[in-house]
Structure 1
């Protein structure tokens, strides 16, 4: 499958500009199949237009191809996840560590703790914080 894309092509499904950041926004039908809302980052300013860089476009096209495979019933989708070094990846790592700590202590997590809706503990914040140091300044 050719995933190359040139500027000026058709709009890519589920790739949206929200609050000046390009994001992959799956539909409600996609979320039970482990397709998650992903924030890519700011786009490129060309003239007065905010356009998605080619790497965001390629990733969105790959995710859409995965979804098409699942939608047609050919195979299960691989979990899209977050790119290494992003805050999303750090957060997922923290949730995995926390789940392991609960299991070691023989404690059961509440539904909110399993989904990560509760605030993370101080140790988790220490693990996530280095991910935010990538910005200059």
Structure 2
């Protein structure tokens, strides 16, 4: 079953979404919230695409590879932004984003038949 084949990627997507939710909430408690605006926005985008990617993989969607490619791109952006901040929650989020992006690219590059395989070829060019 698809969800078993991609379980490590599903797990990384869910862990990243949780880390992004935690980071966004913690950023809202920082003294200069305005300086954290891009971080918070990317955290929200990343959490949402991670959960979407996990759902596509869990149900074996033919578009899972395409969604995972998009997820990897957003994880890269979020991880880069969070990595610029020294707060522990941002650093943990950046690490989770990097792991998720790597897993999503791996999943998409060899992944599923049909629509996802073509998307996987695109991911190989980004790696």
Normalised TM-score (structure 1)? 0.26
Task: Give 1 or 2 for the bigger CA radius of gyration.
Answer: 1
More helix by share: 2
Report the TM-score when normalising by structure 2.
0.28
Structure of greater relative contact order (alpha carbons < 8 Å, 6+ residues apart): 2
